[in-house]
Chains A and B, each alone.
Chain A
Amino acid sequence: MSRSNYGLVKYLFLAFMGLWLLITLFPFYWQIITALKSAAETNRTIPTFWPEVLHPENFVAVFAEASNFNALVDSFIIATGNTLASLFLGTLAGYAFARFPRQAGGENMAFWVLSNRMFPPVAVVLPMFFLFDATPWGTDSHITLIILYLVFNMPLATWLMMVFFRDAPRELEEAAYLDGYTPLRAFFKVTLPLVLPGMISVAMLCWIFAWNEYLFANLLVGTNVRTFTIVIPTFTHGSQTLWNLQMAFSLIAMLPPVILFILLRRYMVRGLSLGVVKG
């Protein structure tokens, strides 16, 4: 390829990337400016690309209804509760599949766990409703969604943790046994620290999924417990949609996962460099 052609390819590439960036960032831009507009301005036939007057008070107005803030708290409780449960179960199951595959049921069992995620979730909505309705706490509670989201998050946690445990050298555990540690103590002393960075990534994936889930939340909870995902549609009323408040609220709801990522990114990077140390 000649030199000038190479330059051309480079510019085409840059142009493509620029276009791509435009397409992906535009919704965010639109979300932000809409959140800052007045209700009247959001409903114009010819949209404005920058608010005529900035309305930052929209971000306060969304909490005029106190339950909107509670929805964020409910989402937080459910996402965190589910993440802890997924990690606890997924770590134990992943360890069993990695270290004692035969006793744990082998590849078939591991595949069965994963296959639960291949199911179209909407198909089980009704049975799930009746199932949880029969429990003492009913459908409309935190625990319902915490348990229900395990259906999606536990297979993910199990499989990823299984891979991390397979990569953690077994010899290190054996060395710990010979140092005098029982299998359980060896697990906490040696194995868990090695897979911790992986565990943090799994936790983030689980948390974000549970935080953003809409379908089951919408159908199972709503009175005692409301997640933020089912609050967002409530800004649409019979005659009009309060686009500005809806966008302001969803921007606020985006903050926790972003903050979480920024906080935990450090551990993930540190974990990656730990992984390259040869046993």
Chain B
Amino acid sequence: MARLEIEGLCKGWDFPVIDRLDLTVEEGEFFVVVGPSGIGKTTLLRLVAGLERPDAGTIRVGERDITALPPYRRKVAMTFESYALYPHLSVFENIASPLRARGMAKAKIEETVIGVAKLLRIEQLLNRRPGEISGGQKQRTALGRTLVAEPDVFLLDEPISHLDAKIRHELRLQFHTLEELRSVATLYVTHDYAEALSLGDRIGVMGNGGLLQVGTAREIFQQPQHLFVAQHLGQPSINVVEASLSRADGSLQFTAEAGSLALPVAGPHSETLAAHKAGRITVGIRPQHVQVAKAGAETNGAAVVEAKVEIFEALGATGILMAESGGVKLMALTPPDAEFQHGEPVKLALRNEAFLYFDADSGRNVMIG
């Protein structure tokens, strides 16, 4: 049992995929790396697993430098996105594989495998082949194989992304409660932000070959340091408005570059933004901070605009509405019983004190140093 330390890790083929990445996962910590497809998340795991050789950097587990060790000597276990179960072996033999590699006694293997199978509720499947079980069961088998290995580091590559929603949720809950996973350093990779926010003790958002922000779920959701982070977390994703700052009646406001939408900047933000040299700014508005009201209804608040409904999706527990106002399209979340028609005029009340402001060039959050 030990912490995982990654320092200055680089890996590229024709172009750099991972560029000077630093990361420490404490013993017992569940660290989730989230990022869009093709950003290098799997490459990161394969580097830690030893399936790829880094171009530069070091990987340490506790005091051991494992950078140059082959995978079979690293004491690292990994589940693959495709599960990578051995098709010619039974579920039992698949789970027993790491124990057989170690030459464990037969009786002990049986005891261990059955123990893990019970934990994952697949004990009735032990005699089946991977081809004869469902996707969720395959995932449990793959998980079982990594659990029995008792490694120093767990690597989980999109373990539940390809399952249907119900089983995904069930397995997600299981990840919360598995003692074995919660007692060593775990690196979990996913493109699903909800999974990341739900599971991670800490979360790292990956982009540009490194981790753009590392923090707790609350930190990275509420205070994204980078536009990329804000865009990647949240469903529906954040509204992004390219705008220019100006003063009207002594107070600061911004006007969308794509149209005529103009909104006042909330008091607490004004000071920082006034100091921001460039007049151009990227504004992030989370859909849950946009309230939708019928055209005639009373609304209060500093930032109310007229809009027209373009798309409305009623999703049961909530609704997603896309409206157009002054040439800018904005997404909003609506209450479950709300009903809107295409082309219907509405009012949008925006909570401007919750807006996020990013530098138009670098994408950095200008509210955070």
Which A residues are closer than 8 A to B by beta carbons? 169, 171-172, 174-182, 185, 189-190, 193-194, 274, 276-279
Contacts and interface: CB of A to CB of B under 8 A. Distances in A.
B149 A175 contact: no
Given A178-B71, A276-B131, 6 more contacts: A169-B82, A171-B80, A175-B86, A178-B76, A180-B98, A278-B87
B88 interface: yes
A44 to B, nearest CB: 59
A169 B84 CA distance: 8
B85 A279 contact: yes
B72 A177 contact: yes
Contact of A277 (B49, B98, B129): B129
B78 interface: yes
Contacts of B77: 178
B72 A180 contact: yes
Contact of B49 (A178, A181, A279): A178
Contacts of B102: 180
Contact of B51 (A174, A193, A276, A278): A174
Contacts of B85: 175, 279
B87 A171 contact: no
A208 B7 CA distance: 58
Contact of B87 (A174, A189, A279): A279
Given A182-B72, A193-B88, A194-B88, A176 B83 contact: no
B70 A279 contact: no
Most buried by A among B88, B145, B149: B88
Contacts of B76: 178
Interface residues of B, number: 26
B61 to A, nearest CB: 14
Most buried by B among A179, A182, A194, A279: A179
Interface in B64-97: 70-72, 76-78, 80, 82-88, 97
Nearest to A185: B101
B130 interface: yes
Query: Which 9 pairs, one residue from A and one from B, show the smallest C-beta to C-beta distance?
Result: A180-B101, A277-B131, A277-B87, A175-B84, A177-B71, A179-B98, A171-B84, A179-B97, A193-B88
Contacts of A179: 72, 97-98, 101, 145, 149
19 contacts: A171-B80, A172-B84, A174-B49, A175-B84, A175-B85, A176-B101, A177-B72, A178-B71, A178-B78, A179-B97, A179-B101, A179-B145, A180-B149, A181-B72, A182-B70, A182-B72, A189-B97, A190-B86, A279-B85
Contact of B82 (A171, A181, A182, A185): A171
Contacts of B51: 174, 177-178
A180 B129 CA distance: 22
B71 A174 contact: yes
Nearest to B96: A179
B70 A177 contact: yes
A91 B80 CA distance: 27
Interface string B94-109: 0001100110000000
Contacts of B70: 177, 182
